[in-house]
Structure 1
Amino acid sequence: MSQTGEFWEWPWYQKLLSIPLYLFALPFGILIGLFVLPLLMVVGLFAICSNFVGERLFYLSMWNDGRTLSRRKLRRRLDAGETGTLIIEAPTMGWGFTHAWWTPDDVKTLSPVSRSDDAEYGEQVLVFLEEEKAHPWDEWCWREYISTWEGTAILLKVWNGKRYRTWFEQHFPAVAIVETTSAIVHQLEMEAQQEMR
């Protein structure tokens, strides 16, 4: 039986008492729609803008440290025969944006830690995350190449570094590409530095 049918079966006094409830609920629902939904949109827009500005500021800080490289200059290096590794870094666990880094090193050969395939690596990262530890591969990549304090890799792109993967696969397919997740390592390093102060 439908709810409408049930309503008509109610006694007259229940029908009468339900009218004020509906009259109260309708404006309340409209108020929620007019204030809460726009507020959620403003918060979402603020989060996107904040991340975008933060990424640009990060790029500028790397540029000030002399650790950035344009695509044109990188292409000249690669056309001249330079080899190396493209590192795609995921600096957060959930936002989905990435950084692209370049190093003339052969990262896979130099790494003392082997990195498993993507599916197994993803599962291992989640296990380490539950233990509030970093995956050894991520820790090594961070320390050697990505760290803003100790790393040696050169930043190519922020926000959507995976675009460089496509560019490399089209123009320089022989270049090695590795991926790393730095969110946990970066957080642990910041906490360690705060404790030292």
Structure 2
Amino acid sequence: MPFDHNDHYHRLLLRHLPRNCGTALDVGCGTGRFARRLAGLGVEVDAIDPSAQVIAQARALSERSGAHRPPDFRQADAIAVELPPGHYDFISCLASLHHMPFDTVTRLRNALAPGGVLVVLGCYREQGLSDGLWSLAAAPTNALIRLAVAATETARPTASPRRPRTKAPVKQPTILLPEIRHRAAALLPGSRIRRLLFWRYLLVFHNET
């Protein structure tokens, strides 16, 4: 269905973009929609993903968009790629941190420039009553939005056929939200985490050094 939970939160993430942001890194960029939004704001964007297929599609989509300065899409794994220390004003990680060890955030933290911001739109494993209640609240809202978006798409008489899109590999999260909070407090002192509606959390870290 034409409703993407990660895309839904793009504007929320962009609220944390530092003023006069010049450089950004998008980790696990997929087909590059968020990276292109950053580039459209005049930011120099590096975008990495371990999947060669999605990187190829990200580049193709950027070429078709005719962007003046598209992101630099590279096939790379955040666990192993060499990141320039103290370089990026903004680092984003959308629904991809659960594909790698959580302590990868230390590599991202070290790549932040002074005053830089790391934002993680993350997924967590549900367990217990609290998670169940949030899921119960999200499910009907999710269904209604999907139906509304689908109806809008169907009603467009001149809509062009959808191009098949490559999807990145999907992995179920294994870490509970309390453990994520505990690890973040140790690895990213001063970071803030809040639960979001559509089975996501938002982590924000400001590099004050």
Query: TM-score, normalization: structure 1?
Result: 0.26
Does 1 or 2 have the higher relative contact order (CA < 8 Å, sep 6+)? Answer: 1
More helix by share: 1
Query: TM-score, normalization: structure 2?
Result: 0.25
